[in-house]
Amino acid sequence: MDRTSTICLFDVDGTVTDPRQPIEPSVRSYMINDLKKRTFIGLVSGSDVSKINEQLGGAEYAAQFDYVFAENGLVAFKDGKEFKRQTIVDYLGEEKLQVFINFALGYMSKIQLPVKRGNFVEFRTGMINISPVGRSCSKAERDQFEEYDKIHDVRKNFIESIKENLPDIGLTYSIGGQISFDCFPIGWDKRYCLRYVENEFNGNIHFFGDKTFVGGNDYEIFNDPRVLGHTVTNPKDTILQLNHLFNNKI
Protein backbone atom coordinates (compact mmCIF):
# COMPACT_ATOMS: atom_id res chain seq x y z
CA MET A 1 0.00 0.00 0.00
CA ASP A 2 1.52 3.32 -1.10
CA ARG A 3 1.72 5.86 1.73
CA THR A 4 1.45 8.80 -0.64
CA SER A 5 -1.98 7.72 -1.85
CA THR A 6 -3.54 6.41 1.38
CA ILE A 7 -4.91 8.06 4.50
CA CYS A 8 -6.37 6.55 7.68
CA LEU A 9 -8.79 8.77 9.58
CA PHE A 10 -9.60 7.96 13.20
CA ASP A 11 -12.38 8.88 15.57
CA VAL A 12 -10.88 9.67 18.99
CA ASP A 13 -13.15 8.49 21.85
CA GLY A 14 -13.49 4.72 21.86
CA THR A 15 -11.18 4.35 18.85
CA VAL A 16 -7.70 5.64 19.71
CA THR A 17 -8.54 6.37 23.37
CA ASP A 18 -11.00 5.03 25.89
CA PRO A 19 -13.95 7.47 26.17
CA ARG A 20 -12.69 10.88 27.40
CA GLN A 21 -9.45 9.30 28.64
CA PRO A 22 -5.84 10.06 27.67
CA ILE A 23 -4.34 7.98 24.89
CA GLU A 24 -2.11 5.12 25.96
CA PRO A 25 1.53 6.05 25.14
CA SER A 26 1.99 2.75 23.28
CA VAL A 27 -0.98 3.53 21.00
CA ARG A 28 0.28 7.04 20.34
CA SER A 29 3.78 5.79 19.59
CA TYR A 30 2.43 3.13 17.23
CA MET A 31 0.47 5.66 15.21
CA ILE A 32 3.07 8.42 15.05
CA ASN A 33 6.25 6.34 14.80
CA ASP A 34 5.09 3.22 12.95
CA LEU A 35 1.78 3.68 11.16
CA LYS A 36 2.69 7.12 9.79
CA LYS A 37 5.52 5.50 7.79
CA ARG A 38 2.90 3.49 5.87
CA THR A 39 -0.02 5.90 5.50
CA PHE A 40 -1.06 9.47 6.11
CA ILE A 41 -2.91 9.69 9.44
CA GLY A 42 -5.65 12.00 10.64
CA LEU A 43 -8.02 12.46 13.55
CA VAL A 44 -11.67 13.47 13.09
CA SER A 45 -13.62 14.27 16.24
CA GLY A 46 -16.72 16.11 17.33
CA SER A 47 -14.66 17.59 20.18
CA ASP A 48 -12.88 20.90 19.99
CA VAL A 49 -9.13 21.02 19.46
CA SER A 50 -8.34 21.64 23.15
CA LYS A 51 -10.01 18.36 24.13
CA ILE A 52 -8.23 16.50 21.33
CA ASN A 53 -4.87 17.94 22.43
CA GLU A 54 -5.62 16.98 26.03
CA GLN A 55 -6.42 13.38 25.12
CA LEU A 56 -3.36 13.08 22.87
CA GLY A 57 -1.08 14.29 25.67
CA GLY A 58 -0.48 17.78 24.31
CA ALA A 59 -0.61 19.84 21.13
CA GLU A 60 2.88 18.67 20.18
CA TYR A 61 1.58 15.11 19.78
CA ALA A 62 -1.57 16.09 17.89
CA ALA A 63 0.66 18.06 15.51
CA GLN A 64 2.40 14.81 14.56
CA PHE A 65 -0.77 13.70 12.78
CA ASP A 66 -0.92 14.84 9.17
CA TYR A 67 -4.45 16.14 9.72
CA VAL A 68 -6.57 16.95 12.76
CA PHE A 69 -10.22 17.68 12.07
CA ALA A 70 -11.75 19.14 15.22
CA GLU A 71 -15.53 19.57 15.44
CA ASN A 72 -15.97 17.23 12.44
CA GLY A 73 -13.59 19.35 10.35
CA LEU A 74 -15.19 22.74 10.96
CA VAL A 75 -11.80 23.57 12.48
CA ALA A 76 -9.14 21.89 10.35
CA PHE A 77 -5.40 21.50 10.90
CA LYS A 78 -2.63 20.22 8.64
CA ASP A 79 0.80 19.49 10.12
CA GLY A 80 -0.24 21.25 13.31
CA LYS A 81 -1.39 24.49 11.65
CA GLU A 82 -5.01 25.62 11.34
CA PHE A 83 -6.07 26.19 7.74
CA LYS A 84 -9.88 26.37 7.85
CA ARG A 85 -12.65 27.42 10.27
CA GLN A 86 -16.45 27.58 9.93
CA THR A 87 -18.92 28.63 12.67
CA ILE A 88 -22.45 27.62 13.58
CA VAL A 89 -23.33 31.23 14.46
CA ASP A 90 -22.75 32.32 10.88
CA TYR A 91 -24.95 29.47 9.67
CA LEU A 92 -27.89 29.73 12.09
CA GLY A 93 -27.92 33.35 13.22
CA GLU A 94 -28.46 34.47 16.80
CA GLU A 95 -32.27 34.26 16.79
CA LYS A 96 -32.45 30.60 15.72
CA LEU A 97 -29.54 29.74 17.99
CA GLN A 98 -31.34 31.06 21.05
CA VAL A 99 -34.59 29.30 20.12
CA PHE A 100 -32.67 26.02 20.04
CA ILE A 101 -30.73 26.59 23.27
CA ASN A 102 -33.84 27.72 25.14
CA PHE A 103 -35.72 24.60 24.07
CA ALA A 104 -32.83 22.31 25.12
CA LEU A 105 -32.53 23.92 28.54
CA GLY A 106 -36.30 23.73 29.04
CA TYR A 107 -36.36 20.04 28.12
CA MET A 108 -33.52 19.22 30.50
CA SER A 109 -35.25 21.06 33.35
CA LYS A 110 -38.10 18.56 33.18
CA ILE A 111 -36.26 15.21 33.03
CA GLN A 112 -35.26 13.24 36.11
CA LEU A 113 -31.88 11.43 36.10
CA PRO A 114 -29.83 9.58 38.74
CA VAL A 115 -27.65 12.72 39.02
CA LYS A 116 -27.31 16.11 37.31
CA ARG A 117 -24.18 18.22 37.40
CA GLY A 118 -23.07 21.29 35.40
CA ASN A 119 -22.19 22.31 31.83
CA PHE A 120 -25.28 20.95 30.06
CA VAL A 121 -24.86 22.99 26.87
CA GLU A 122 -21.38 23.37 25.41
CA PHE A 123 -21.10 25.84 22.58
CA ARG A 124 -18.41 24.92 20.05
CA THR A 125 -17.27 26.55 16.85
CA GLY A 126 -19.24 24.34 14.50
CA MET A 127 -21.74 22.61 16.75
CA ILE A 128 -23.56 22.53 20.07
CA ASN A 129 -22.93 19.64 22.44
CA ILE A 130 -25.82 18.70 24.75
CA SER A 131 -25.24 16.63 27.90
CA PRO A 132 -28.35 15.79 29.96
CA VAL A 133 -26.23 14.75 32.96
CA GLY A 134 -23.79 17.67 32.53
CA ARG A 135 -20.20 17.49 31.34
CA SER A 136 -18.96 18.36 34.84
CA CYS A 137 -19.88 14.87 36.06
CA SER A 138 -17.23 12.57 37.51
CA LYS A 139 -15.95 9.44 35.78
CA ALA A 140 -18.19 7.27 37.99
CA GLU A 141 -21.22 9.47 37.23
CA ARG A 142 -20.37 9.37 33.53
CA ASP A 143 -20.35 5.55 33.60
CA GLN A 144 -23.58 5.54 35.60
CA PHE A 145 -25.36 7.75 33.06
CA GLU A 146 -24.14 5.63 30.15
CA GLU A 147 -25.71 2.52 31.71
CA TYR A 148 -28.91 4.42 32.58
CA ASP A 149 -29.12 5.76 29.02
CA LYS A 150 -28.84 2.27 27.55
CA ILE A 151 -32.03 1.34 29.41
CA HIS A 152 -34.01 4.59 29.22
CA ASP A 153 -32.86 6.09 25.87
CA VAL A 154 -32.47 9.55 27.42
CA ARG A 155 -30.43 10.97 24.55
CA LYS A 156 -32.47 9.27 21.83
CA ASN A 157 -35.74 10.57 23.26
CA PHE A 158 -34.26 14.05 23.68
CA ILE A 159 -33.28 14.13 20.00
CA GLU A 160 -36.72 12.93 18.93
CA SER A 161 -38.32 15.74 20.95
CA ILE A 162 -36.11 18.35 19.28
CA LYS A 163 -37.01 17.01 15.85
CA GLU A 164 -40.72 17.09 16.69
CA ASN A 165 -40.74 20.56 18.23
CA LEU A 166 -38.13 22.30 16.05
CA PRO A 167 -38.51 20.59 12.67
CA ASP A 168 -37.24 23.57 10.66
CA ILE A 169 -34.23 24.54 12.76
CA GLY A 170 -31.82 23.13 10.14
CA LEU A 171 -29.84 20.91 12.48
CA THR A 172 -29.07 17.23 12.66
CA TYR A 173 -28.02 15.19 15.68
CA SER A 174 -25.69 12.33 16.54
CA ILE A 175 -24.96 10.42 19.72
CA GLY A 176 -21.29 10.09 20.59
CA GLY A 177 -19.29 9.18 23.68
CA GLN A 178 -21.00 8.31 26.95
CA ILE A 179 -22.99 11.35 28.09
CA SER A 180 -23.87 13.72 25.25
CA PHE A 181 -24.99 14.26 21.70
CA ASP A 182 -23.84 16.70 19.03
CA CYS A 183 -26.12 19.15 17.21
CA PHE A 184 -24.87 20.65 13.96
CA PRO A 185 -26.12 21.98 10.63
CA ILE A 186 -27.31 19.33 8.18
CA GLY A 187 -24.28 18.06 6.26
CA TRP A 188 -21.84 19.14 8.98
CA ASP A 189 -21.29 15.63 10.37
CA LYS A 190 -17.89 13.93 10.11
CA ARG A 191 -18.22 13.79 6.33
CA TYR A 192 -17.44 17.50 6.35
CA CYS A 193 -13.72 16.74 6.68
CA LEU A 194 -13.66 14.68 3.48
CA ARG A 195 -13.67 17.81 1.32
CA TYR A 196 -10.05 18.37 2.39
CA VAL A 197 -8.74 14.91 1.51
CA GLU A 198 -11.03 13.36 -1.12
CA ASN A 199 -9.06 14.54 -4.17
CA GLU A 200 -5.60 13.68 -2.90
CA PHE A 201 -6.57 10.25 -1.53
CA ASN A 202 -9.37 9.30 -3.92
CA GLY A 203 -10.43 5.68 -3.29
CA ASN A 204 -7.95 5.20 -0.44
CA ILE A 205 -9.57 6.90 2.55
CA HIS A 206 -9.92 4.53 5.49
CA PHE A 207 -12.01 5.52 8.50
CA PHE A 208 -11.96 3.79 11.90
CA GLY A 209 -14.71 4.46 14.45
CA ASP A 210 -16.73 2.81 17.21
CA LYS A 211 -20.08 4.64 16.79
CA THR A 212 -20.85 3.44 13.25
CA PHE A 213 -24.45 2.40 14.04
CA VAL A 214 -27.50 4.43 12.96
CA GLY A 215 -27.58 7.55 15.13
CA GLY A 216 -23.93 7.24 16.11
CA ASN A 217 -21.60 10.09 15.24
CA ASP A 218 -19.44 7.86 13.00
CA TYR A 219 -22.37 6.51 10.97
CA GLU A 220 -22.41 9.01 8.10
CA ILE A 221 -18.69 9.00 7.34
CA PHE A 222 -18.48 5.22 7.81
CA ASN A 223 -21.14 4.73 5.11
CA ASP A 224 -19.89 7.42 2.73
CA PRO A 225 -19.00 5.94 -0.70
CA ARG A 226 -15.69 7.84 -0.66
CA VAL A 227 -14.61 5.95 2.46
CA LEU A 228 -13.52 2.42 3.36
CA GLY A 229 -15.11 2.03 6.80
CA HIS A 230 -13.88 -0.06 9.73
CA THR A 231 -15.90 -0.58 12.92
CA VAL A 232 -13.77 -0.96 16.06
CA THR A 233 -14.59 -1.60 19.71
CA ASN A 234 -11.63 0.03 21.49
CA PRO A 235 -8.02 1.18 20.87
CA LYS A 236 -6.68 -2.37 21.09
CA ASP A 237 -9.08 -3.51 18.39
CA THR A 238 -8.10 -0.50 16.26
CA ILE A 239 -4.46 -1.57 16.33
CA LEU A 240 -5.35 -5.19 15.61
CA GLN A 241 -7.30 -4.13 12.52
CA LEU A 242 -4.50 -1.81 11.40
CA ASN A 243 -1.99 -4.63 11.76
CA HIS A 244 -4.20 -6.81 9.60
CA LEU A 245 -4.73 -4.05 7.02
CA PHE A 246 -1.05 -3.19 6.70
CA ASN A 247 0.31 -6.67 7.47
CA ASN A 248 2.40 -5.11 10.22
CA LYS A 249 3.07 -6.22 13.77
CA ILE A 250 3.33 -3.66 16.51
Per-residue buried b or exposed e for 20-29, using 16+ beta carbons within 10 Å of the residue's own CB: beebbeebbe
Q: What are the CA-CA distances from residue 223 to residues 11, 109, 187, 209, 211 (Å)?
A: 14, 36, 14, 11, 12
Give Cβ neighbours of residue 63 (< 8 Å, ≥ 6 apart): 77, 79, 80
CB 206 within 8 A of CB 139: no
SS3 41: strand
Residue 236 CA, distance from chain mean position:
18
Residues carrying an active site annotation:
11, 13
Question: CA 6, 40, 211: angle at the middle one, nearest 5?
Answer: 85
E strands, the chain, in order: 7-10, 40-44, 67-70, 75-78, 81-85, 121-123, 128-130, 171-176, 180-185, 205-209, 227-231
- Please give, one letter per residue, the 3-state secondary structure of 220-240: HHHCCCCEEEEECCCHHHHHH
Q: At 39, give phi and psi (nearest 5°).
A: -155, 155
Rg over alpha carbons for the chain, rounded to the nearest Å, is: 18
Q: Are 9 and 205 in contact (CB under 8 A)?
A: yes
